[in-house]
Amino acid sequence: MARNPRYDLLFEPVKIGPVTARNRFYAVPHAAGMTNSMPHMRARFRETKAEGGWGVVCTGYVSIDPTSDDAPLPFATLWDEEDVHSHALMTEAVHRHGALAGIELWHGGGSVMNRTSRVPPLSPSGTAWMATHVNFMGHQRPRVMDADDIRQLLTWQADAARRARRAGFDIVYVYAGMGYLPYEFLLPEWNFRTDAYGGSVANRVRLVRELLEVTHEAVGGACAVALRISLEELRARPSERAASQAHEVVELLADLPDLWDVKLDSSPTDCAPSRFAAEGSHEPVIGFVKALTRRPVVGVGRFTSPDTMVGQIRRGVLDLIGAARPSIADPFLPRKIDEGREQDIRECIGCNICISSWHDSVPVRCTQNPTAGEEWRRGWHPERIAPAGSEASVLVVGAGPAGLECALSLGRRGYEVMLAEASEEIGGRLRFETRLPGLAAWGRVLEWRRGQLERLPNVNVYRGNHLSAADILELGVGHVAIATGARWSRRLYSALEIPAAELEGPGVLTPDDIAAGTLPRGPVLVYDFDNYYMGSVLAELLARQGCAVRYVTPAGHAAAWAIMSNEQPHIHRRFAELAITLSTLTRVRDYAGGVATLENQFSGATEAHACAALLIVGARFAHDELFQQLRGDPPALERAGIRSLTRIGDACAPGALVHAIYSGHRFAEELDADREALRYRRDAPLPRREALPRAASLA
C-alpha cells in the first residue's frame, strides 16, 4: 500500500549538524540491559530498529570513566579501545540499513555508588542521591569536585567522544538529565558551590557548556553533538531573566548543540506508565524549546499515533519524533507508516515492563513484542518467522494473551490452527483488566492480535466452545497447546513469606469475584501480597465506586514491585487523592463476622478492623485441569494422533502479561523446529585485540 500523504512530513530528512537523518523517526537512547558483555545481542537489537525504518538509532547510557559505575544495573562503557571494538558492532549493524548511530555518553555523578570500581563518586557539592527504594540504596557518598576534577571530567568526555567517533557513531551526546552529573550542576539542591560553577543559572550551566565545547572539538566536525537535558524541575522555577530557569538555560546554550534532546527529570515522570499519563504528555514541559533555538529538537511521549506525531511537528513542538518504548514494542513502526500499514503497528501499551528489565539488570522485555531481546540469542524477528515445520494441525485451547499470541504466530508460520475459547469473547484476563481504571491502553494487546488473526485464513477461532478432554481426543489434531489461564486463590500470607492456608467464608473475595461482577458494598479491606498492579487498581476501582477502602500489604510500600515499572510513586499519590488508607508491613491473620484481624509483619502486634469484605490479591495457581486429564492417558493421546501436549502461559506458570505472551510465542517458534533453531546462544564480551575493525577506523 502507498503511504498516506498526510504523513509525508514524517519522512522528510533532517540535518543534524554535519550529518542528516533520513527521516524524523528517532530511536532515543534507552537502556536495554545489553552492555559490552552482550555485544552481539546489543547490535542485533539496535539493528532491528534500523531495519524497521528509524532514521536514528541510539545506544543506552555509556559510562565515560570508572568514576561512573552503575553496577549492578546494566550500563555500557567506553573507557578504552576494547570498548571501541565492542560498540563498532552496533554502529556497523545500524549503518547497514541507512540509519545514523547515536551514543549517549554518561557520567552518573552523585547518583551512582561505584560499587564495582570502589572509587568515591563525584558530585558538585558532595551531595548524594539517597533513594527510598532498596535497589538504588547504597552507603558510598560522593566527594566534592574541585577544579582538577572538573578538568578531568572534561578530559574524560573528550576522550570518550574521540572513541565514539572511532567506533563509527554519527551523533555523540552530552547527557545533562535524570539526576546525573551535568544535571546536578544545574540544580541548586545539588549545587551550592560558590565558584564559577555555582550560584546563578549562568554559572550553573557553565559545565554543560564546556562539555559541549570539548565534545565538538573532539569529534572535529565529523559527528553531530547532541545535548540531552531534563527540564521538568527547571521549568517550574522562576527566573529574573526569562520565563523560567529552563528557558534561561536553553537561551544560554541555544545553538551550541547540534541537537536538543529534551526530557523530564525522573523515570516515573519521563517514562510514566499509560495508567497515569497519556500519549504526548511531555509537551507542557518541553514545548517551548524549539522557539528558542535554531537547532532541531527531539522529544518523547510514548508516540504511537502518526497523527499525533504530525501534530507535534506542525505545531512547532518537535522536529524529530523520539521513541524508546514504542520502538521496542514495534521496531518496524516507521516502515509500517511508510507503507500505509498503520493498522499493523504493534502499539506500546505503556506497561513499562521494558523499564523493569533494566531495574532487574536483564536484557529488555516487552509485553507487546515477545521477540525483543531475543533477536540474536534465539534468532527471533518481530516481522518474520520460520515456515511451518510440518503439515500437522494445532489446537490452542484458550484465547487469552498466551493463546492469542500462540495462534497468531502459528498462523503466520502457515499451520492450520484451531483456537477454541470457552467464553463468547476472546481475550481471557484482558477482558476484565482493560476495564479497570487506567488500563484501557492494555487493550492494544488484544485488539492488535484480534486484527491480525482476522486476516489469517488458516486460523479459525471458535468462541463459546468449552472443550472436554474427550472432545479434544476426537478432533484429529497433531498438537495441542493448553492456555486455560490461572485463578486467584484465597490463601493468606504466612510469616515465612509464602502463601498459607485458604481462608473461606462470607465476604472473602478474590479478583476473580470482582471480574465476575461481585462488587462489595461498604468498607473493603484490600489485602495485597501480589505486589504488582492488581491490588492497587482494584483498590482504586472500589474507592471510585464509593467504598471506603483500606489497603493492607506485608511489604513496605503499596504495590511494592511496581517501583520496577515506575508505577509506585503514582499509586501512592492516587491513594492520597482517593482517601485510600494504607497499612504497610501488615498481614491479615483472619477474617470472620465482618472483622479482619491484622498482624504486624515483624512485631506480631494485632489490630481488629471492621469491614464488609476482604479482597485477597495474593497467590495465583494454574487452571490446568484439562491438561492434567489429557496427560493422564498417554495411550488415548497416541490413538488420537496427538504428537505433543503442552501448557502455555498462566496455565503453565502464572505470571504477568509479558510472561504469558512470551510463552505463547516461544511455543509457536519452536514447534517442529530443528535442534539448531532451539539453541539458546550465550553472548560474551569480545576477546581483547589490538587492532580496530577496519570498518570502524577513521580515514
Active site residues: 180
For residues 261 and 290, is the Cβ–Cβ distance under 8 A? no
For residues 109 and 186, is the Cβ–Cβ distance under 8 A? no
d(Cα 224, Cα 172) in Å, to the nearest integer? Answer: 6
How does 64-80 read in b/e, with b if 16+ C-beta sit within 10 Å? bbebbbbeebbbbbbbe
d(Cα 490, Cα 507) in Å, to the nearest integer? Answer: 11
Neighbours of 118 (CB within 10 A): 10
Three-state SS annotation for 336-379 = HHHCCCHHHCCCCCCCCHHHHHHHCCCCCCCCCCCCCCCCCCCC
Phi, psi angle pair for 534, to nearest 5°: -60, -45
Cα 228 vs. chain centroid, distance in angstroms? 20
Helix (H) or strand (E) holding 26: strand 25-27
d(Cα 228, Cα 242) in Å, to the nearest integer? Answer: 21
Smallest CA-to-CA distance from 528 within 553, 560, 556 is with 553
Rounded alpha-carbon distances, angstroms, from residue 179 to 66, 214, 259, 265, 568: 18, 22, 20, 7, 19
Rounded to 5, what percent of the chain is helix, strand, coil? 35, 20, 45
| Exposed / middle / buried, residue 294 (Cβ in 10 Å: 0-12, 13-18, 19+) | exposed
Q: Read off the C-alpha cell for 306.
A: 502518526
Q: Read off the C-alpha cell for 288.
A: 517551548
d(Cα 627, Cα 610) in Å, to the nearest integer? Answer: 41
- Integer Rg of the chain from CA: 27
CA atoms within 13 A on the CB side of 547: 23
Q: Read off the C-alpha cell for 59.
A: 545506544
Q: Read off the C-alpha cell for 686.
A: 569480545
How many helices (H) and strands (E) are present in the chain, helices listed first? 25, 30
